[in-house]
Amino acid sequence: MLNRYPLWKYLLILLVFIVGVLYALPNLYPKDPAIQISAANSGASVGDSEMARVDQTLEQAGIAVKSSESANGTSLIRLENGSQQSAARDMVSKALGQGYTVALNLADSTPQWLQAIGAKPMNLGLDLRGGVHFLLEVDMDAALDQRLDVNASAMREALRGDGIRYRNNTTGDNAIRFTFANADDRSQARALLNRQYNEFSFANEDDAGPTLVMTLTDQAVTDIQDYAINQNLTTLRNRVNELGVSEPIVQRQGPNRIVVELPGVQDTAEAKRIVGATANLEFRLEASDSTSADQQQAFDFRNDAGRKAALERDVIITGDRVSSASTSFDDSGRPQVNINLDGPGGSRMNRATRANIGRNMAVLYIEHKTRTRTVTRDGEQVEERVPYTERGIISLATIQSALGNQFRITGLDSPTEARELSLLLRSGSLAAPIYFAQERTIGPSLGQQNIDRGVMSVIVGLVLVLAFMIVRYKGFGLIANLALTVNLTLLIAAMSILGATLTLPGIAGIVLTLGMAVDANVLVFERIREEMRSRSIQQAIHTGYERAFTAILDANITTLLVAVILFSIGTGPVKGFAVTLSLGILTSVFTGVMVSRALTNLVVGGKSLKKLWI
């Protein structure tokens, strides 16, 4: 029979709708402002005595607590009032001291039964929540240079170990060059190094004496770059976690960029210092009388202007071998950093110190920095970044006995510096220097304002469209409106399920979808009106839906193509817009064709009607 769906189709649509409602529902529960407390050392947890202290502190300050809960060693304290959130954080942080990380959080208030089926509210983008957004660029050239330096150092050691003498050694242009006294030495060296370093391609050059040129293969360059960015991602994640931010985002974007988003953070300066810091340590022996001149490098002391010391060029270990670090004070009250090395680091340190008891060992503090200066190139003002490295000795002490994998270093300026150094050593160093390519800070008031305005425009837009459809299509307008409501529900449910982030342009996308979603129904209804002139009512409805379908399909596929392109070029908020637009197209085709058809069939299908209320 015309215009009747089999029962299973109605049930299927009903099922989709119910699932949609369930998964859209969590968005109706507002998130609670909360503070989250966790112990700074993993493994430790927040105990009852700490919680009692926190409760007391908050009570004294007159901050109303809604509820508090503990799970997996972290505690979450929900507050009644969002404006007291940062005050509460500061107070709790002070009361608990250094051993705990206290972070601002927005806690879900989704009821248990919804959580049980995995329903959760949409994530809010930074423009709706407030916070900081960084786009970091990884300096790939520097990553390559660093790797070359490390390799060159190891090669020098290998050559010396085999008693092969070389005259000069330089690095640059993805290549390491050794110059030898004669071709014989060179071929020996080549044979030796060729066995160990297969990421280099080897070549001989004779322009300035017998030279061995080892160039990184393209594959090796790609590997090093991948390693650099992945290592940086890991490091940044560690650091962001140490900052105590809830729901941070650290993501790779493109070949050499990293996005860091810290919701709720307002102190940009601190966040930038920690995220972008490139401090590291190097341990080297002081040059002795037997060290040849080209194996020496002189460095200034960081805290003792004018004092210098000559160190060996070879590095025993760097801060990368540190497995954990913490701060404390020595007997005379100066800050010190206690260091634990990992296995290989410990044994290398042990070997180097055992063989050199009585000599001095230096700890070098290294910072990679960039200087930006404006230069005129081809008549245009261009910004040029000049990377440079600052190295300074923080301590030089005599090796009394062989060191193991635990020791401490002193000579730091202040407790803050000691704390930051230990944080950086803990979280690992950046494999390549990074610099800030983009930064956005959004104040919390703007975020709330954006939400209010966005919700307002969705509601007003929806009401206007609903009214328009009723006026224009009467009874069928009602069907379109029901379909539109289902559409909005499904769109929100889809975004929540996919974990899409809602941004202000994303809300605009929802509003726009509402306006355009009725298009499918408009097409159908107009077609029905037209067909009614030449056919019976039931046939007109049937043909109307059939004929309008190709137009609906073509029109929506092309719009979807544009949305996908928008997604691929857009960043941040614009991506959010593209996501909502794409999902909106999919849901509106479903509701415009299936749901509205089902409703029409249910109401008028199979009945003998004289007049259609359209």
Distance CA 589, CA 487 (A): 9
> Which of 45, 475, 526, 602 lies at the binding interface for another protein (CB under 8 A)?
526
> Which of 28, 71, 305, 569 lies at the binding interface for another protein (CB under 8 A)?
569
Q: Which residues, numbered 24-83, are part of the site for another protein (CB under 8 A)?
A: none
What are the C-alpha distances in Å from 26 to residues 120, 457, 521? 6, 21, 29
Measured in degrees and rounded to the nearest 5, phi and psi for residue 369 equal -130, 165
Interaction between residue 380 and another protein (CB under 8 A): no
Distance CA 528, CA 546 (A): 10
Each residue 209-248 as x (binds another protein by CB under 8 A) or -, in order, gives: ----------------------------------------
Interaction between residue 571 and another protein (CB under 8 A): yes
State the alpha helices, DSSP H only, in 25-139. Answer: 48-60, 85-96, 112-116, 126-129
Q: Which residues, numbered 455-484, are part of the site for another protein (CB under 8 A)?
A: 456-457, 460-462, 464-465, 468-469, 472
Interaction between residue 120 and another protein (CB under 8 A): no
Residues 6+ apart with CB under 8 A from 381: 374, 375
Count residues binding another protein (CB under 8 A). Answer: 71
Q: How far is the CB of 172 from another protein (least distance, A)?
A: 24
> Which of 508, 528, 583, 593 lies at the binding interface for another protein (CB under 8 A)?
508
136, 228 Cβ separation under 8 angstroms: no
What are the C-alpha distances in Å from 83 to residues 31, 32, 251, 546? 14, 12, 30, 56
Q: Which residue is it, tokens 């993805």?
A: 174
Q: How far is the CB of 389 from another protein (least distance, A)?
A: 19
Q: How far is the CB of 472 from another protein (least distance, A)?
A: 6
> Which of 142, 540, 578, 604 lies at the binding interface for another protein (CB under 8 A)?
578
* Of residues 412, 344, 497, the one with CA closest to residue 25: 497
245, 260 Cβ separation under 8 angstroms: no
What is residue 129's three-state secondary structure?
helix
In this complex, which beta carbon is closest to another protein, that of residue 88 or of residue 508? 508
Q: Which residues, numbered 547-566, are part of the site for another protein (CB under 8 A)?
A: 547, 550-551, 554-559, 561-563, 565-566
In this complex, which beta carbon is closest to another protein, that of residue 76 or of residue 516? 516
Element (H, E) at 262: strand 257-263
* Of residues 555, 561, 538, the one with CA closest to residue 593: 555
> Which of 137, 149, 320, 367 lies at the binding interface for another protein (CB under 8 A)?
137
Q: Which residues, numbered 399-458, are part of the site for another protein (CB under 8 A)?
A: 436-443, 445-446, 449-450, 453-454, 456-457
In this complex, which beta carbon is closest to another protein, that of residue 294 or of residue 452? 452
407, 339 Cβ separation under 8 angstroms: yes
228, 432 Cβ separation under 8 angstroms: yes
Q: Which residues, numbered 251-270, are part of the site for another protein (CB under 8 A)?
A: 268-269
Interaction between residue 505 and another protein (CB under 8 A): yes
State the alpha helices, DSSP H only, in 362-443. Answer: 415-427
In this complex, which beta carbon is closest to another protein, that of residue 335 or of residue 447? 447
421, 412 Cβ separation under 8 angstroms: yes
Interaction between residue 573 and another protein (CB under 8 A): yes
Q: How far is the CB of 592 from another protein (least distance, A)?
A: 11
For residue 581 the two structure tokens come to 């637009």
Q: How far is the CB of 196 from another protein (least distance, A)?
A: 38
Interaction between residue 522 and another protein (CB under 8 A): yes
> Which of 8, 195, 383, 608 lies at the binding interface for another protein (CB under 8 A)?
383
